[in-house]
Every structure is written in structure tokens, then in C-alpha cells.
């Protein structure tokens, strides 16, 4: 299979929910090896470059017990799935007992066969890697305790939510320093060189089984963050985990994709440590600040070498549904922008149908939701629009939206950008405001001069004829409704 595109389109699928839904639809148990070909072909027809099967690895019995007893989680389940039953609760996919495919989903051989079927459709497979922690009942608790962060009886007594006892030893739960620990996990000790080697070996082994890895909370195991969280220092001093680990993968599989879930403005640091793409949570946060589209535009002035390695999204399994968070029309505006920007474009199961209920990751079943056919049609047009070499291989530029007349400040609500590849030009504009917007967008393309151009809106099929000189100065005039969006192809 060929290498990943420069700006790939990846679709996240909740494996447990997907297989349960397919089993209900087809009236028979379906595991990874039995997914009907028509379902895979549907993914290929949407022109995704990769499929992230979230949560395939073996889940923990201890995590399942905790997930079925924690009052806060039970309330979350009931809100998402009012008729939830104990057997719907299968534990967290991020408390991994073993990096083998959960028997519930069919096992390792079925995943390997599915990968080959996906590859035949030109779809690459992305899986999870959770570097920071393992399930609290993972084999290393008994077999390799030196690879794990340990505590004392006094620490366990003083902070019983942070530690647990197993086999006569006290271990720390995995944690993000800003939040309570994940009580179904045990913390890997990255200060230990042998632990880093073992995790590197695991990472390289996983790279044999897929085409990319999404690395959970990747910044937590960098030397700087880890030592701020747990104290001490790496052995030897100056060591770190990701640079050597990623080099090992790239030596074996040069085209392998590494995607980091990362926050705290550490995106650039993780890119420098070897990741191909890093989450762009800042852009998502700026989308949420609906009263400040200018913050989105400021975000996009960063260097293109940084921008093209960001993963853009408007929802994923950790965030609220876009249709609920932004409203149906608002979600169209932010999605049209996110999916046409440089970088990895990440979409999420249910997003294309306009679903509004976020699925807790501990559940294997989701409540039925009606499809929003208007949003479904919008996403179909959007995915068709970006199925073009210009969006994958072209050069990108952020454009200025100028006031349509003196005193009209609505232009500040627009974000405009363009792609160019050879003689192919595309302009994308989103109005990120709940109010109408008027502006001029100078296109800064001398090749437009002296010709009349047909602008075809790939999101609506509307067509307009415009003189090239006018597109250069004063620019393309736009009068857009609330949350309006255009993707214009020039001919």
C-alpha cells in the first residue's frame, strides 16, 4: 500500500459500539472477521484514507468491575443509554489488560484479516497505544513491578484514591497531574530505562499490526512532564521516550503514521520528538469561543510546517457531539473549516449522521438516534469536495477578509483560505458567527488576471461568473448568512 497522503482524512470508529450495531442490523453476531463487505465499501466510498478502530485491545476485568460500580459513571451511562444493562458495560478501552484483540471482538487473527480487507479498499488501519498506564490487573503488576510507579503504605493510607495494593506492594494509579487518577490503571515508570525499553518493544510490535497509532495522552510520558508529575529524573539523565521509540518504528516502517493526543501547548514539542501529527485541541477550544472568530484566524497564522502536522477535529470520543455543541448550522461552519485546513482531518463515528449523544467509552451499545439527513447530506458534499489532489498535495495560504464597506465589522467573523495545485484553485470560507457577514476576500493569485472565472460552490452546486481582475482587487465579494460556508472551485 502507498504512503499516507500529506493531509490524510481519518475516521474514528468505536469498535465495540460498531460491532454491536452491525450485529443488531444483520441479525447475527458480528466480530471483526465477519464485518460485511458492504460496510467496508461504504467507508471507502466516503474517501477516508484511514480508519481508527478505537478500543480493540483486551479490556480489564478490574476496569469492568469499577465501571459497573462508580456512581458518576453510572449516571453518565444512563444519560447516554437510558436502558443500560450491566452487560453493556465492558470497561474502559484505555485500561488495557493485554495488547491482544479482545475476544469479544474476535481476536488477533480476525483483526489481521480485516486489515487486509481494508488495504484492498485503500484504507489504512489506525489503532490505539496507551503509553502512560496499563490496567491495574495487567501481568506486569506481578511479573515486572519494577516497571511501575510504586508507593508506600503511608501514601496509600493518606491518598487511597491515588494508590492501590497488589501482591504485597503499593502501586500508583495512572494520572494526569491536573485531574484525579484513573483508578482502573497502574502507572508505568518511565524513569526506569528497562521500562522504556519494554514499552518501545511493545510499540514496535504494534506497528507490525497496523498502519498508524493514535497515542493516548502522549505528553504525559515526556521526561519533563513525567518528572514534574512524579519527581525524580530519567535514567540516564537527558533520556526521553518518544524520540528513540519513534525512530525504532520508522526504521522498520518508514511510512508509519504516529498521531499524538496532546494538550497544554506541547504540540510543537511532540512534533519535534517525532510525531507526524498532534491533536489541535487549541483550534477546537477556539471554535467553542463562538464570540471570537478572530482567535481562530490568529491561530491559523502559525508556520505552515507546524500547521500541516496538526490533527483537526470538531468532535471525537472525548468531546461533545459537534451537532450538540455547536448546533446543526454552527457545526457545518466549523466542520467545513476544519476539514479543509492543512493537517490530518479527523472525523468521528456518528458525526456524519448528526448524532447528538456522546457515547461513554465503557459501553458496547449506543441508544438509537435519528439521522439528521440535512447534516448527512452536508458531510457527503464536504467529503466529496476534499476528495481532490489540491487538498492533499496543494499549497495552502490563509487569506484576509476585508470590510465590505466602512464601519461593517462583520468581516472579522470570516475565515478564508485557499489551496493551489498547478492550475487548480480552491477557496474555502466559513462565517463562524450566528449573524450575517459581508466581506471582500482578495485572492492573491496573479494567474486569475485577465480571465472570467466560473466559481462552483462544492457545498451547494451554486455557480457564479466573476472577472479575474476583480477577484484580485478589491476581491471576491461575499454576503453570507449565519454560519454560512463555501468551498469554491475555479474553472
What is the mean predicted confidence (pLDDT) over 191-217? 98
Q: Dump strand ranges (E) for 227-349.
A: 257-260, 277-279, 310-312, 344-348
What is the mean predicted confidence (pLDDT) over 186-191? 98
Query: Grid coordinates 471582500 are at which residue?
Result: 440
Report how far apart, in Å, the C-alpha atoms of 347 and of each of 73, 126, 277, 344, 425 are.
25, 13, 15, 10, 25
Instruction: Tell me what pLDDT residue 237 has.
Output: 84
Quickly count: other Cβ atoms within 10 Å of residue 421's Cβ.
15
Instruction: Tell me what pLDDT residue 334 has.
Output: 98
Q: Under CATH, which number does the domain 9-137+182-391 receive?
A: 3.20.20.80
pLDDT higher than 90, residue 182: yes
For the chain, domain boundaries? 9-137+182-391, 395-490
pLDDT higher than 80, residue 2: no
pLDDT higher than 90, residue 13: yes
What is the mean predicted confidence (pLDDT) over 399-419? 95
State pLDDT tens for residues 365-403.
999 999 999 999 999 999 999 999 999 999 999 999 999
Q: Alpha-carbon distance 272 to 154, whole Å?
A: 40
List, as own/partner pairs, every contact residues 454-457 make where C-beta atoms lie below 8 angstroms and the sequence separation is at least 24, other chains included: 454/490, 454/491, 455/427, 455/488, 455/489, 455/490, 456/488, 456/489, 456/491, 457/486, 457/487, 457/488
Cβ neighbors of 236 (< 8 A, separation 6 or more) are 193
pLDDT higher than 90, residue 207: yes
Instruction: Tell me what pLDDT residue 289 has.
Output: 86
Strands 96-101 and 57-59: antiparallel
Three-state secondary structure of 187-238: EECCCCHHHHHHHHHHHHHHHCCCCEEEECCHHHHCHHHHHHHHCCCCCCCC
Q: Alpha-carbon distance 404 to 421, whole Å?
A: 29
Quickly count: other Cβ atoms within 10 Å of residue 144's Cβ.
15
Q: Alpha-carbon distance 394 to 397, whole Å?
A: 10
Q: What b/e string do you get for 454-485 counting C-beta neighbours within 10 Å, with b at 16 or more?
A: ebebbbeeeeeebebebbbeebbebebeebbb
Q: Are 281 and 400 in contact (CB under 8 A)?
A: no
- Tell me: cis bond preceding 236? Omega within 30 of 0 counts: yes
> How remote is the C-alpha of 277 from its chain's centroid?
10
What is the mean predicted confidence (pLDDT) over 274-300? 94
Quickly count: other Cβ atoms within 10 Å of residue 290's Cβ.
18
pLDDT higher than 90, residue 131: yes
Q: What b/e string do you get for 148-186 counting C-beta neighbours within 10 Å, with b at 16 or more?
A: bbebeeeebeeeeebbbeeeeebbbbbbbeeeebbbbbb
Q: Alpha-carbon distance 370 to 357, whole Å?
A: 11
Residue 298 burial by CB count (10 A; 0-12/13-18/19+): exposed, middle or buried?
exposed
Q: Alpha-carbon distance 420 to 393, whole Å?
A: 9
Cβ neighbors of 274 (< 8 A, separation 6 or more) are 242, 243, 245, 246, 247, 250, 258
Q: Alpha-carbon distance 388 to 47, whole Å?
A: 10
Query: Grid coordinates 452491525 are at which residue?
Result: 22
Instruction: Tell me what pLDDT residue 220 has.
Output: 98
State pLDDT tens for residues 62-108.
999 999 999 999 999 999 999 999 999 999 999 999 999 999 999 99
pLDDT higher than 80, residue 290: no
What is the mean predicted confidence (pLDDT) over 433-445? 95
User: H or E stretch including 416?
Assistant: strand 414-421
State pLDDT tens for residues 226-280.
999 999 999 888 889 999 999 999 999 999 999 999 999 999 999 999 999 999 9
What is the mean predicted confidence (pLDDT) over 156-172? 97
Q: Are 288 and 325 in contact (CB under 8 A)?
A: yes
pLDDT higher than 80, residue 291: no
The pLDDT confidence band at residue 411, using thresholds 50, 70 and 90, is very high
Q: Alpha-carbon distance 182 to 489, whole Å?
A: 48
Q: Are 206 and 99 in contact (CB under 8 A)?
A: yes
Q: Alpha-carbon distance 226 to 218, whole Å?
A: 11
Q: Under CATH, which number does the domain 395-490 receive?
A: 2.60.40.1180
What is the mean predicted confidence (pLDDT) over 465-471? 94
Amino acid at each position: 500500500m502507498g504512503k499516507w497522503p500529506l493531509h490524510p482524512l481519518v475516521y474514528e470508529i468505536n469498535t465495540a459500539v460498531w460491532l454491536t450495531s452491525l450485529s443488531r442490523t444483520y441479525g447475527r453476531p458480528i466480530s471483526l472477521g465477519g464485518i460485511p463487505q458492504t460496510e467496508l465499501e461504504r467507508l471507502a466510498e466516503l474517501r477516508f484514507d484511514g480508519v481508527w478502530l478505537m478500543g480493540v485491545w483486551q479490556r480489564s476485568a478490574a476496569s469492568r468491575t469499577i465501571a459497573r460500580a462508580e456512581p458518576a459513571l453510572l449516571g453518565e451511562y444512563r444519560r447516554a443509554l437510558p436502558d443500560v444493562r450491566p452487560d453493556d458495560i465492558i470497561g474502559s478501552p484505555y485500561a488495557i489488560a493485554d495488547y491482544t484483540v479482545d475476544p469479544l471482538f474476535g481476536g488477533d487473527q480476525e483483526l489481521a484479516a480485516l486489515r487486509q480487507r481494508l488495504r484492498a479498499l485503500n484504507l489504512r488501519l489506525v489503532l490505539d497505544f496507551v503509553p502512560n498506564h496499563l490496567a491495574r490487573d495487567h501481568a506486569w503488576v506481578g511479573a515486572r513491578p519494577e516497571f511501575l510507579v510504586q508507593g508506600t503504605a503511608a501514601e496509600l493510607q493518606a491518598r487511597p484514591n491515588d494508590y492501590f495494593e497488589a501482591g504485597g506492594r503499593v502501586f500508583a494509579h495512572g494520572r494526569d497531574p491536573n485531574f484525579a487518577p484513573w483508578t482502573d490503571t497502574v502507572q508505568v515508570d518511565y524513569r526506569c530505562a528497562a521500562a522504556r525499553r519494554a514499552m518501545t518493544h511493545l510499540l514496535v510490535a504494534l506497528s507490525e499490526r497496523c498502519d498508524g497509532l493514535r497515542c493516548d495522552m502522549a505528553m504525559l510520558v515526556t521526561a519533563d512532564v513525567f518528572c514534574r508529575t512524579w519527581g525524580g529524573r530519567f535514567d540516564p539523565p537527558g533520556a526521553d521516550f518518544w524520540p528513540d521509540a519513534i525512530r525504532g518504528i520508522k526504521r522498520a516502517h518508514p511510512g508509519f503514521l504516529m498521531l499524538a493526543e496532546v494538550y497544554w501547548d506541547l504540540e510543537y514539542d511532540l512534533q519535534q520528538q517525532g510525531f507526524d501529527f498532534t491533536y489541535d485541541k487549541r483550534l477546537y477550544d477556539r471554535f467553542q469561543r463562538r464570540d471570537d472568530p478572530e482567535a481562530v484566524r490568529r491561530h491559523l497564522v502559525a508556520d505552515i510546517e507546524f500547521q500541516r502536522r496538526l490533527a483537526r477535529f470538531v468532535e471525537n470520543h472525548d468531546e461533545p457531539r459537534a451537532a450538540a455543541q455547536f448546533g446543526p448550522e454552527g457545526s457545518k461552519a466549523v466542520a467545513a473549516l476544519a476539514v479543509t485546513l492543512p493537517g490530518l482531518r479527523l472525523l468521528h463515528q456518528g458525526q456524519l449522521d448528526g448524532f447528538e449523544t456522546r457515547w461513554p467509552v465503557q459501553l458496547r451499545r449506543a441508544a438509537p438516534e435519528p439521522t439528521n439527513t440535512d447534516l448527512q447530506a452536508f458531510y457527503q458534499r464536504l467529503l466529496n469536495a476534499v476528495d481532490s489532489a489540491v487538498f492533499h498535495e496543494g499549497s495552502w495560504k490563509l487569506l484576509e477578509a476585508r470590510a465590505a464597506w466602512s464601519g461593517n465589522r462583520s468581516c472579522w467573523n470570516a475565515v478564508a483560505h485557499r489551496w493551489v495545485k498547478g492550475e487548480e484553485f480552491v477557496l474555502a470560507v466559513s462565517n463562524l458567527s450566528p449573524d450575517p457577514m459581508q466581506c471582500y476576500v482578495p485572492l492573491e493569485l496573479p494567474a486569475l488576471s485577465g480571465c472570467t472565472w466560473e466559481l462552483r460552490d462544492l457545498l451547494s452546486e451554486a455557480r457564479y461568473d466573476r472577472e479575474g481582475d476583480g477577484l484580485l482587487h478589491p476581491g471576491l465579494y461575499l454576503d453570507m448568512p449565519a454560519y454560512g460556508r463555501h468551498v469554491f472551485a475555479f474553472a
